[in-house]
Amino acid sequence: MKKIGELVAERAFFLSAVASSSITIGILVFMVFMGLPLIREGGGYHLLLKSWSPYQGSFGIYPMIVGTAAISFLSLAVAFPVSLGCSFLIATIAPKPVSRGLRRIIELMTGIPTVIYGFVGIFLVVPLVREWFQSGSGMCVFTAALVLGIMISPTMTLFFSDSFDRIPRSYLDAADALGASHVQKLLYVMLPAAKKGMLNGVILALGRAVGDTLIALMLAGNAVRVPASVLEPARTLTAHIALVIAADYESPEFRSIFACGVVLYLFTMAVTFLVRYISYAEDRKP
């Protein structure tokens, strides 16, 4: 009896795994299929490396690719030190009650909808950036990356502090016994031991940053030009899809957003594979 139950459960789990992975692949196939006519017509080259001016019949998404990369990596650069500091505080320095309280607050932060971050960003960060730098409108790569960085840092912090918590107690005790300072303990014991878990946190946060639509749409200014500096407006692929989806279904503009989807998909996939590879290579080191 028990054996049958086990067999059924095994099959059910296997099927659900197959289903969810085939949905992931199915989405990619669908987007490639929908984007194929345009890729064939204009060539992938035009699509990926030309600029966007639909009235001139040019549907390149190059500026959006640059915008996405700039905003997401910059936001990672904002979020990483913040998250590292927070998680180190929670895991090591702060006394138990404080660190527990901090953790609760950060858990709460992960649940705040992005639109609220965007909303606060518009009324708080945009005017500040405009007046600090005395240039532009304040809706720019920098503002979007700053707010996006704050948005993704709670997720990252939780991942980091979880991987710090998994470090064997004996390592930390050894460091303490040798009279290591907090910083030395972080640099020479905790970071190397928690590297893999932290990489996972970074991938997940980067995925959120690349996939986020609302903050970029509200704060980055959406200009269709490759930004010359971080104080210039830019448009991300996701914001571009949101803006163009309103156009006519039959138009080439509309069809080009499937190409954006494919690029976005491959972009996240490439980053994930890269980071996985790094952690794999790390494991194989003697």
Partner 1 sequence: MRKFSLIQLVLVVAVSLAAYAPAFAGSLDVFKGESGVLKISGGTAHIPVMKDVAKKIMVINPDIQISIAGGGSGVGIKQVGEGLVDIGNSGRIATEEEISRYQLNLYKWAIDGVAPVVHPNNPVKALTKTQMIDIFSGKLDNWKMLGGADRKINVYTRDEASGTRAVFWKKGLDKAQMTTGAHVVVSNGAMKSAIAQDPYGVGYVSVGHIDASVAPVALDGVVPTIESVQDGSFKIARGLYSNTKGEPHGLTKKFIDFLYTTDGKKIIEQRGFIPVR
When the beta carbons of 162 and 253 are compared against partner 1, the nearer one is 253
CA–centroid distance for 183 within its chain: 28
When the beta carbons of 205 and 232 are compared against partner 1, the nearer one is 232
Maximum alpha-carbon separation in the chain: 75
When the beta carbons of 55 and 169 are compared against partner 1, the nearer one is 55
Is 229 within 8 Å of 133 (Cβ atoms)?
no
CB of 76 vs partner 1, minimal distance in Å: 24
3-state SS class at 136: coil
When the beta carbons of 71 and 79 are compared against partner 1, the nearer one is 71
Pairing of strands 58-59, 52-53: antiparallel
Please report, in angstroms and rounded to a whole number, the separation of the first and last CA atoms in the chain: 47
Q: How far apart are CA 211 and CA 260, in angstroms?
A: 12
CB of 241 vs partner 1, minimal distance in Å: 12
CB of 223 vs partner 1, minimal distance in Å: 5
CB of 247 vs partner 1, minimal distance in Å: 5
When the beta carbons of 65 and 175 are compared against partner 1, the nearer one is 65
3-state SS class at 58: strand
User: Can you give the binding site for partner 1, defined by CB under 8 A?
Assistant: 51-56, 63, 122-123, 126-127, 130, 134-139, 217, 221-225, 232-233, 235, 243-244, 246-249, 253
Q: How far apart are CA 69 and CA 220, in angstroms?
A: 13
**What Å distances lie between residue 238 and 19, 22, 104, 141, 229, CA to CA?**
26, 23, 31, 14, 20
CB of 151 vs partner 1, minimal distance in Å: 21
